[in-house]
Amino acid sequence: MLLDTPICEFGWKGPEFTLNDPDGTAFTMSDHLTDKGLLIMFICNHCPYVKTVADRLASDAKLLMDEGIGVLAVMSNDYRQKPADSPENMKLFAAEHGFPFPYLVDEDQSVGKAYGAVCTPDFFGFNKDGGLQYRGRLDSAGMNDPEGRTPELVNAMRQIVETGDGPREQHPSMGCSIKWS
């Protein structure tokens, strides 16, 4: 089922969390909030929307990370319901697409619920103070590059770095619903 994300609640503070990657290594949100900001992406392996943009997620995230922005990805689906999203499959998916960021298992779905994640992909862009400044999509249709897309997420994160504030006009992300247990 296709869902849209809600409008950005500017300044909302993302709750602290510590989650493990599929190998059991713990990652804490505040450790990745840099003096340039933090991008948290709620994604999964099976969603056709995520599959379509997975390589772009990797390249755009690398670009942002190279510019000093922290990036984390969280998988909040109930993988007992959707075995394609299991931790073992997360490792394979991350390797296949060259994810440069930690891809974390939200085992009890508490982080997805605390953030109000709705769909995959769902993007949360925070400024250096941990205030939400972006809740939009990866791209919008446009003519800003040869592929006819406007890199909305990258541009928004760069604006957040420069000004501390996200763009006032944001287009909701669209994707598959989070599979709650």
Question: Where residue 1 falls among pLDDT bands split at 50, 70, 90?
Answer: low
| Per-residue pLDDT tens digits for 136-177 | 889 865 444 555 566 899 999 999 999 999 999 898 888 899
Q: For residue 162, give every residue at least 6 positions away whose Cβ sits within 8 Å of its Cβ, in sequence order, or none.
A: none
Range of the domain at 39: 2-6+31-177
Position 128 in a domain: yes
> What is the per-residue DSSP string for 126-166?
E-TTSBEEE---S-EE-SSSTTSEE-HHHHHHHHHHHHS--
55 domain residue, yes or no: yes
Amino acid 139: pLDDT: 85
11 domain residue, yes or no: no
Least confident of 19-28, 62-71, 134-143, 152-161: 134-143
Whether residue 119 is contained in a domain is answered as yes
CA distances from 179 to 10, 63, 82, 119 (A): 26, 30, 8, 9
Statement: the pTM of the whole predicted model exceeds 0.75: yes
pLDDT for 143 equals 40
**Lowest mean per-residue pLDDT among 24-33, 75-84, 115-124, 168-177:** 168-177
Predicted confidence (pLDDT) per residue in 106-147, tens digit: 999 999 999 999 999 999 999 999 999 999 889 865 444 555
Number of structural domains (the chain) is 1
CB 12 within 8 A of CB 19: no
Domain containing residue 149: CATH number:
3.40.30.10
Q: Which residue has the tokens 């763009």?
A: 167
Q: Is residue 17 in a domain?
A: no
Q: Which pLDDT score is estimated for 172? A: 87
89 lies in a domain?
yes
| pLDDT value at residue 4 | 66
